Chain A
Amino acid sequence: MMNCREVTTSASDYIERRLNPLTRLGMLIHLAMCKGCRLYVRQLRLAIRGLRALGTTRQPASVVDPHLLEHFRKANRPQGD
């Protein structure tokens, strides 16, 4: 029988379905009985969604360094130009 420490340390693997079937079953049984661990997993899922939100809310830069563009132009100039 898994204890709460084992469940919390395996929570990411559980969320990503990376546990072997036996461990996953042990986890499901524990979660059915333990409110604290259920809440932990739910909050961990929210933390992951928050991290993903950080990746999707960025503002793409609208300006590009002219020197960098010049390097790009030079690299793509036909030979002998």
Chain B
Amino acid sequence: MVGLGRGWKVRAGPEYSLSLGVSITNAAKASPRNADFEMNEDLISRLRAGDEAAFSLLVGEYQGRLVRLARSFSRNESVIEEAVQETWLAVIRGIGRFEGRGSLQSWLFSILVNQTRRLASKEKRHDETGNPGTPNPNLTAEPRGDPDEDEPGLNVRGRWEAPPVPWGLEDPESFLLREETLTVIQKALSTMPEGQRQVVLLCDVEGVSPEEACNILGVSGTNQRVLLHRARARIRRALDAYLGAKPTGESGPKRRGG
């Protein structure tokens, strides 16, 4: 383990924002997704040139996201912390050789996934024998038809017995941006099977393309599609349960007879 400090203590000064602010602001205007930020070639060339401001911006942008992704592989906080630190060190060592064939974001996530798997399996070997770097079996095994993954409202003939009920949202967009809603989604993410969580975090939360997600996680396209859909279906059910339990209010649902 490399002895990096635990806290993130140095504030990125205003000059950093100024030096890269224009390109990033323009990227953000074009699209709120992160892809524009990380695809910034200017940022990559500044990193290669040893621009500390560019590195601070990159760390500021991705630190929390790397931690979130690492948590989908391990619940051990020291493994997560070390994996993220090792990822940044690998970036420092490897940015000069980064060829830019894939996106910078995918490269970062690939390093993190490999580091977390390696460290998590090393940790596991303290308790049992295992192979280092073994991918999650939930991901490598092809998903099969699982009756538990069926929508609960469907009957044995595959038709709705209890069809979905309207959520009755007056303004779905503002509902989705509410902190309470995001907490419901986060909670559902934390309780779903690992394989589903990893795929949905990459594809929907981080906006990584399906092909890149397959490469990062080492899964087939079929597996990625099945896991992604199951994860999304769980989020839908979590929102449905939340809205069903919520009393009818100003922006609340009008449903299920009350």
Cross-chain contact B5 with A67 (CB below 8 angstroms): yes
Q: Chain A contacts of B193 at CB under 8 A?
A: none
Q: Which 7 A-B pairs have the closest CB atoms?
A: A36-B163, A76-B50, A5-B158, A51-B204, A12-B229, A3-B158, A36-B160
In the complex, the number of residue pairs spanning A and B with C-beta atoms less than 8 Å apart equals 171
Q: Chain B contacts of A48 at CB under 8 A?
A: 204, 232, 235
Interface residues on A, range: 35 or more
Chain A: minimal CB distance from B45 (Å): 13
Looking at B9-17, B109-117, B122-130, the stretch in contact with chain A turns out to be B9-17
Cross-chain contact B55 with A55 (CB below 8 angstroms): no
The answer to whether the Cβ of A27 comes within 8 Å of any Cβ in the partner chain is: no
Q: Chain A contacts of B177 at CB under 8 A?
A: 53, 57
With A64-B60, A67-B3 already in contact, the answer to whether A39 and B182 are too (CB < 8 A) is: no
Cα–Cα distance between A67 and B85 once the two chains are bound (Å): 10
Q: Chain A contacts of B207 at CB under 8 A?
A: 52, 55
The answer to whether the Cβ of B246 comes within 8 Å of any Cβ in the partner chain is: no
Cross-chain contact A3 with B157 (CB below 8 angstroms): yes
25 A–B contact pairs at CB < 8 A? A4-B154, A4-B159, A13-B225, A36-B163, A54-B185, A54-B186, A55-B205, A57-B182, A58-B65, A62-B60, A63-B7, A64-B59, A64-B60, A65-B8, A65-B10, A66-B9, A68-B5, A69-B10, A71-B89, A71-B92, A72-B52, A73-B52, A75-B50, A75-B92, A76-B49
Set A39, A53, A58, A60: member contacting B163, Cβ < 8 A:
A39
Chain A residues close to B by CB (< 8 Å): 3-6, 8-9, 11-13, 18, 34-37, 39-40, 43-44, 46-69, 71-73, 75-76
Closest-by-CB residue of A relative to B11 is A63
